[in-house]
Structure 1
Amino acid sequence: MKDLTNSHIDRKNVLNNNAAVKEIYDQLGFTGIFFENKYRYTLNQVAKFYEVDVRTIKRLLEDNGEELKTSGYELFTGAKLKLFKEVVSQQRDIDVPLLIQDDENEVVGVKSNKISVFNFKALLNIGMLLQTSEKAKEVRAFMLNVVIDVLNKKLGGSTKFINQREEEFVPAAIREISYRKEFTNAIDLYITNNKFKYGQLTDKIYKSIFKENAKEYRKVLDLKSKESVRATMYSEVLDLISSYENGFAEFLKDQFEQNQRQFTLSEAHEIFSNFEKLTNKIYEPLREKARSLMASRDMAFRDALHEKLKDYVSTVSPEDFDKFLGEKSQALEERLKENIDVFKRLKDR
């Protein structure tokens, strides 16, 4: 199980997973003060929840202030504090005591001129940072279990094909089929017969984009022999592969027309190296993006580390979590039903 206390990326990925955070809130049952469309918790409430001294939470704020601000911690003062006090004064829920104290242990509504306030994500963030609280340890384990449960509910227990749930996957897959045909046709026409030519040149593209050949990629994702490599790739990666294949097909054709002869496989490798050098700066931004998306998403969604891309691992955005796990995400079968007209048009061409 992941150690959330040691990994900022893992903490951020939990908080960015809105579907999981909602489920955690529903199951945790710790009702906050509803203020400005969010549930809020004061410093004292947070300390009591995690069964630690207020000073412990203050030390976390000192050491991890920026992270906690990003997740939703605020210091209320002035007009905002006044409005918050008014909301607190109206509370009658036993889970939200009327006597909520501020940072200096003053009762809210008396002398306080500032109050540390946490939204639900910041409350969870505190739990992921606290190492001296048994309650925090329990909450961390609970959070990770909920994250796994949410994935299982959405994906039926397998994350191999989570890439297919986003809206852009089907169009990207359709485009890839067309450009793949251009690539294989060029190999047929301009490279002498060799049963290894398709696989080796495809691997050259894979290694150029994400530093792994097909065999290495299969191992990382633990794919079975009959499971398609490209069926597991994200739309951005598929589009970049299509661009490489289409570009190399044209480049190979130009080389053939200049030399008026087919090339051996070893010569084709050299031609690809020249193509790679010529297009390096063109593809660099897209390649960097593809590496980061693949490495980060596979770590978050599939718990799979691409060792050669480990320096590209970063947090997965809330938009990405919603894209693959949110309301707009769909299983491939549902996507295909929506795109049936597209397939019919392709068939009629």
Structure 2
Amino acid sequence: MSAKLFTPITFRDVTLKNRIVMSPMCMYSCEPEDGTVQPFHLAHYESRAAGQVGLVMVEATAVQQAGRISAKDLGIWDDKQVEGLKQISDRVHAHGAKSSIQLAHAGRKAEDEETNYSASALAFNDRYQTPVEMSTDDIAETIEAFKQGASRAKQAGFDIIELHGAHGYLINQFLSPLTNQRNDQYGGNRENRYRFLSEIIDAVKTVWNGPIFTRISANEYADGGNSTEDFIYFAEQMKQQGIDLIDCSSGGVVPAKISAYPGYQIPGAETIKHQAGIHTGAVGLITTGIQAEEILQNDRADLIFLARALLRNPYWPKAAADELGCTIEAPKQYERGWR
């Protein structure tokens, strides 16, 4: 049987051997708290590559120290952080997988900073401090930080960059009318709210010529938030700017009650894929090979992003292949137990 899950796909000059992606998941494992890669990170990411994931994406990695979600986050704001990140990329490549890194800034959801920043001076909830509204100089400095992060990602040998514009972090805070109440060129209508991300993309592309993905929250679960039409507009703009894929998650912009069930985020990926005419990634409670194959065969998305399923089983691709009646190549060291 030929399963689409195990067919290759190419973005620019990068070909993934299958459609399975290790979704970026914060590990909060930096000890000391300087954003550098630790032995745990090396084992964590290499094991999924050995398990035959096609693309391994490193967790949200802060482009500025003040943009960390927690003090234990990985960072890419300093040259000293490149060496460890390169070790991750090299170990992923050793198993035939491609490597990616998610460039991120937490904005008002930076939990451990004395001062945090956002599009507007609105706290996420009572547990979080009220952020400082970013000045145009702050915005320019942060855009430059994303650019420098992309440059360091290139030095570290990553194949793909993902910009984190989801889950209520800084880029998302500019995109959403729920969190952006500015009256300048970065606020108001959706064209202005998109400007921050647009300028980040342009800046990144001056130092990076590989594929770029963007993760968005395609449902904000709150009245007054972005509509489906807004997300399609953003996706169309990203396509025009050369973004290769929209990774469609949801939520996190404001406190909200979310009913999560298998495949609950797939409609966002499907709608954006067909109405904006851009590749999309599906993520969210995808647990079986059959479920993943249905999404791909029905043209609802182009990549399958797995999170908790890969935490439970680094060899999920083998389990999915068995379920779908396929044979996939084993790591040489594991051939004796693969069949």
| TM-score class normalised by the smaller sequence | under 0.3
TM-score under structure 2 normalisation?
0.20
Structure with higher Rg: it is 1
More strand by share: 2
